[in-house]
Structure 1
Amino acid sequence: AASKPIEPQSCSGLSRWQLALMVGTPVVFGVGAVYLWRRRRGRDKQAKTNGERKTPEGSASPVHGQQGTSSVGLESMMKWTEVIQDCSWAVELNPRYVKALFRRAKALEKLDNKKECLEDVTAVCILEAFQNQQSMLLADKVLKQLGKEKAKDKYKNREPLMPSPQFIKSYFSSFTDDIISQPYQKGEKKDEDKDKEGEAAEVTESSGYLKAKQYMDEENYDKIISECTKEVESRGRYTAEALLLRATFYLLIGNASAAQPDLDRVINMDDASVKLRANALIKRGSMYMQQQQPQLSTQDFNMAAVMDPRNADVFHHRGQYRQAYTGNNPSQVQKAMDGFEDVIRRFPKCAEGYALYAQALTDQQQFGKADEMYDKCIELEPDNATTYVHKGLLQLQWKQDLEMGLELISKAIEIDNKCDFAYETMGTIEVQRGNLDKAIDMFNKAINLAKSEMEMAHLYSLCDAAYAQTEVAKKYGLKPPTL
């Protein structure tokens, strides 16, 4: 499965934020594609007609000068309410008075009025043509705070949502050495051990775990967690397998807090098979990676590699981790690239390997080869929606082909209407096209499908950024340059 890119703690590489923003600027503006940046030089005149104007304090009129001096004094005394009143009067006289807008934004932040602060600082960013780092950082800070607050409330009250069958199948296809995802037929004898040290077991339906496996084969995924729980509570012979399968589905529905205790138990079960414990380590390491805990992630991947050195999943998932955290270190980048090449050489039918390698190649601006890898991934998994999104983004970054990019992302939504990454990406592009209402609709769809609180916070930030731009357009007639 072509997974979403991981957001590293450093600002290098192609992180989640950079994929959403592409031009590398904070979330408030850049939501879109690299080629906007490439066109920006030729758009200077248009940007100015859309409001790129700086009004030096005191230069517009004597009134502005007096007002500016007054608000500076009030700001130094931390009289925030008075600062807001003073700046509001100045903005009434000149809605494009940058310094008054920015001073009011800072005062609003001090009073914890994040919504109005965001609107003011968004106006400032547009007026300054996104060139002032101070205002950009304030916008980004407020957006992240708003996103976290909204996600914290929404995520804890959300109904767990099972991903689409295609997403689940693609997820399991990213593992080549995962016992719990291997199908078997009723009545057949299966070599479990791989888990039971070579002991053959008759497949019956008396076990909750075996019933869960039957539901997996039938794609009846909603019943799997409850059947695994029956196996665990009865302390059946497949307790370790049931714990791992239950943890996996907890991860799939975005309940990492429920998944971790199950993964911890499997990892610490000395009588469980090496394959099960290594798989649990890989999944816990990937979970830590999503939570931006690189030290814990590294530790789990390394433990899995020592425990099961011939397990290809260790190297391919650790390769994804290394891609996310390489920074600007050329040797680390090369090590990650070598790891991906090794995976696709040893496992040429592993679509996930090609997809992750394509992401790494895109980071290195090897666009042609990345496109070939995505084509190979689509050939192996034609119904994997996420791959189409990545390929669509590549067309934007590589060829500046908006039409092809949108076509591929629309195809992803057609294949899987639960693909939150597709809605998110479509929203980012619509912001840059100036279609803010459509962008907000796309972001809201993605929010309802988010699989973690962190992911939901990121999406709320994007949505709030788009909404702030609609408010600024209404109040001041300001719009950033569009595609």
Structure 2
Amino acid sequence: MTRRRKSRSNGRKHSDEPSKVSSLVTETETPLQRAQKYKNEGNVYFKTEKYNEAIAEYTKAIDICPKENKDELAIFYQNRAAAYEQLKKYSFVKADCTKALELNPKYIKALLRRARVLEQTGDLEAALKDMTTACIYEEFSNPISPVKMEIILKKLVKQHAYENWASKKLFMPNKLSIECYITSYSTDPVFSKLRCPENIPEFFKKPLQALEDTKYDDVIPLCTEIIESPEFNSLPSTKLEVLLLRATFYILLGKFEPAFQDLECILNIEYAADDVKINALLKTADLHLEFMNLDMAFMNFELAISINPHCSDIYYRRGRNNVTFIYMHMGELNKAKYDFEKALEYDPNFSMACIQKCYTDYRIAMLNKDVRLVEAAVRTFEKVLEKYTNLPKCIFCYQYYRKIMSETQQYQKAHIYFTKIIKKHPENTSMSLVYLQRAFLQFDWSDYSDEAMVYLKKAIELDEKCSSAYDMLGIIEIKRGNIEEAIRLFDKALVYCRTLKELISLYYSRDAAKVILNVKNQLGEAI
């Protein structure tokens, strides 16, 4: 009996020994080791999706970890951020990632996590900065990171572009652009009235006089004054031309919604003259194409043909839009060529149709890789250059000629032709676009920035609103490493650009430049 009791007593005494040993081990652990244990327990909870428990363990690790162990402490913060992210507590995620990066600025996981959360919460600029920094630290070795960076950049660009577009102050394009637009119609019922001023109704004289005097900013207010007058409804059917003129200048101004409304009003009136209705259909088609509504656009072309199948404007505009929006990509350029030929059949003097038809012939030859046809197309186009040397028609010629010469690498020959036209109109403000095309040719030719800059600056001297020139100057400054100057130039271009598409392109250049600058400043080194 005694032995049994003693044995039990020994057993009890023996069972106490591990407890003392365990306590001794715990007491001999460093704070960092204890912090690592808490982290490991947090990891177990994290894997079993017990995120609150994981957070509690990571917090213990953070609290007990010595401040001098920066790398380990950064890991604890990053792990806790991961748990917070699973609970969608994004402000805590950002705070913990930021703390981790203060401790270890090159902590890729923390940068990527904070970038992801910043993107989810809409702070795209900060997200892009983090993602770019991560890419640089990774030396672009991770193929996924640059893809994510590009995705964020595109989101930011769209955000900036749409915000700008919603509040953008719109202004009329320059005189040249409006003259080019007028030239692009062979038989516009309103523009043609200027050729016979004696037939202009009294009520329509003021807006048309403003058009004649190139006082383009006055056209919309003068048309509105007539439309809103009490006697408008009692005016003859030619009053619809006032609506058409206002719609036209709304389009030029970039106010597409009121343009749609005026054009729809014309199309809903039965007594509208055929030429007015056709012109309204064509301009409505252009608006649909602006928003990539191709089916509606081509339905309008068909409706116009049903009214007058011999109207050259219908075929020209359909062919032009075919080249721009569809057939260039589908390789069905022959359909566009057919339209330009029809336009010339019904109006042999239609200069714009002639220019487009010759350029389309060249594109077909290039598509077929037929050297003989390409050479013939180039010769034909050079005859067009000799034919249309006056403004604004020559602007279109040189825009296409530059593309042809760059593709066929006939730069010296192109230079000779550009020199001729510049000498013919040396200081005409309308030549800004020719100087712009000459700069593009220089880029394609030798990428010699100094010479290209001379042409770009001349384009701006002639037209301070030449947004494309500011854009190209910005690109040159990027190549030279002058990021701040590039951003200033892109911002200038943003003021003068006229379409949402241009805004998106410019914001892409500007926002990418700002990322480079921000990261460069942050890292204190050349990027």
**Deviation string for 1:194-247 (max 9, x for gaps)?**
xxxxxxx3x46x31x222111211112222112222333424333121111111
The yes-or-no answer on 1:354 pairing with 2:397 is: yes
Question: What is residue 141 of structure 1 aligned with on the other side?
Answer: 155
Deviations 1:259-300 (A, max 9, x none): 111122233444333332222222222222223333333333
Aligned counterpart in structure 2 of residue 442 of structure 1, from 474, 481, 489: 489
Map of 1:119 onto structure 2 = 129
Structure 1 residues 137 and 114: alpha-carbon distance in aligned structure 2, compared to 1, 3 A threshold: closer
The yes-or-no answer on 1:466 pairing with 2:509 is: no
1:319 and 1:340 in contact (8 A); partners too: yes
Residue 256 of structure 1 is matched in structure 2 by 256
Aligned-pair identity in percent equals: 27
Q: Which residue of 1 aligns with 2:246?
A: 246
- Residue 231 of structure 1: aligned partner: 226
**Is the counterpart of residue 151 in structure 1 residue 165 in structure 2?**
yes
Structure 1 residues 323, 388: closer, same or farther in 2, change over 3 A?
farther
Unmatched 5+ residue regions in structure 1? 1-59, 190-200
Q: Partner residue of 1:413?
A: 460
Question: Quick one: distance in 1 between partners of 2:421 and 2:288?
Answer: 28
C-alpha distance in 2 between matches for 1:377 and 1:244: 39
Corresponding position of 2:213: 218
TM-score by length of 2: 0.64
**What residue identity is the alignment partner of 2:439?**
G
Matching residue of 1:266: 266
Q: Deviations over 1:448-473 (max 9, x none)?
A: 33434564455445433333332222
- Tell me the SS of whatever aligns to 2:181: helix
Q: Which residue of 2 aligns with 1:79?
A: 89
Asked which structure has the greater RCO (Cα within 8 Å, sep 6+), the reply is 1
Counterpart contact for 1:174–1:352, Cα < 8 Å:
no
CA contact (8 A) 2:71 2:104 kept: no
Distance 1:426 1:305 in 2: 44
Report SS of the residue matched to 1:178: coil
Task: Map 1:52-451 to 2 at 5 A.
Answer: 69-124=79-134, 128=139, 132-152=146-166, 154-155=167-168, 158=169, 160-182=170-192, 184=194, 189=198, 201=199, 203=200, 206-207=202-203, 209-233=204-228, 234-235=232-233, 236-237=235-236, 238-326=238-326, 329-333=329-333, 335-336=335-336, 343-344=353-354, 349=388, 350-351=393-394, 354=397, 357=400, 365-366=407-408, 368=410, 375=418, 383-397=430-444, 399-451=446-498
Q: Distance in 1 between matches of 2:241 and 2:256?
A: 18
The separation in 2 between residues aligned to 1:356 and 1:310, in whole angstroms, is 29
For residue 144 of structure 1, what is the amino acid of its counterpart?
Answer: K
SS at match of 2:186: coil
CA distance in 1, matches of 2:226, 2:318: 31
Q: Distance in 2 between matches of 1:368 and 1:336?
A: 26
CA separation of 1:407/1:333 partners in 2, compared to 1, >3 Å: closer, same or farther? farther
Task: Quote the Cα distance in structure 1 between the aligned partners of 2:400 and 2:319.
Answer: 9
Aligned partners of 2:75 and 2:100 also within 8 Å: no
Secondary structure of residue in 2 paired with 1:184: helix
Residues 1:368 and 1:226: Cα distance change in structure 2 (over 3 Å): same
1:81-114 alpha-carbon deviations (Å, 9 max, x no partner):
3332333244335544444323211111222223
Taking structure 1 as the reference length, what is the TM-score of the superposition?
Answer: 0.69
Q: Find the aligned partners of 2:296 and 2:498 in 1 and give their Cα distance.
A: 21
For the 8 Å contact 1:119–1:468, the answer to whether it is kept is: yes
Counterpart of 1:418 in 2: which secondary structure? coil
In 2, distance between residues paired with 1:423 and 1:165? 19
Larger radius of gyration: 2
Q: Secondary structure at 1:78's aligned position in 2?
A: coil
Secondary structure of the residue aligned to 2:194 is: coil
Letter in 2 for 1:385: S
CA distance in 1, matches of 2:250, 2:244: 10
Cα deviation, residue 180, structure 1: 1.9
What is the CA–CA distance in structure 2 between the aligned matches of 1:305 and 1:360, rounded to whole Å?
32
- C-alpha RMSD of the superposition: 3.9
Kept in 1: contact 2:327–2:336 (CA 8 A): no
Distance 1:308 1:434 in 2: 57
Distance, in Å, in 2 between the alignment partners of 1:371 and 1:271 is 51
Post-superposition offset of 1:76: 3.6
Aligned to 2:64: none
Alpha-carbon shift at residue 305 of structure 1 (Å): 4.2
Maintained 8 Å contact 1:357/1:373: no
Separation (CA, whole Å) in 2 of partners of 1:126 and 1:277 = 59
**1:284 touches 1:297 (CA, 8 Å); kept in 2?**
yes
Question: Per the alignment, in what secondary structure is the counterpart of residue 190 of structure 2?
Answer: helix
Number of equivalences: 401
Give the AA of the match of 1:475: Q
Given that 1:355 and 1:373 are in contact with CA atoms closer than 8 Å, whether structure 2 keeps it comes out as no
| Counterpart-to-counterpart distance in 2, 1:310 and 1:125 | 60
Q: Structure 1 residues 242-251 or 77-86, which shifts more?
A: 77-86
Which amino acid in 2 is paired with 1:433?
R
Q: 1:396 to 1:129 in 2, by over 3 A?
A: farther
Q: Is the 1:174–1:353 contact (alpha carbons within 8 Å) kept by the matching residues of 2?
A: no
Whichever residue aligns with residue 299 of structure 1, its letter is M
Residues 30-67 of structure 1, C-alpha deviations (whole Å, 9 max, x = no match) = xxxxxxxxxxxxxxxxxxxxxxxxxxxxxx97666666
Q: Distance in 1 between matches of 2:497 and 2:311?
A: 30
- Could you say what secondary structure the match of 2:332 adopts? helix
Quote the Cα distance in structure 2 between the aligned partners of 1:125 and 1:288: 41
AA aligned to 1:108 is L
State the partner residue of 1:44.
none
Contact 2:190 2:245 (C-alpha < 8 Å) held by counterparts: yes
- What CA distance in whole angstroms lies between the structure 1 residues aligned with 2:133 and 2:435? 35
AA aligned opposite 1:214: Q
Contact 2:327 2:335 survives alignment (8 Å)? no
Which structure has more helix as a fraction of its residues?
2
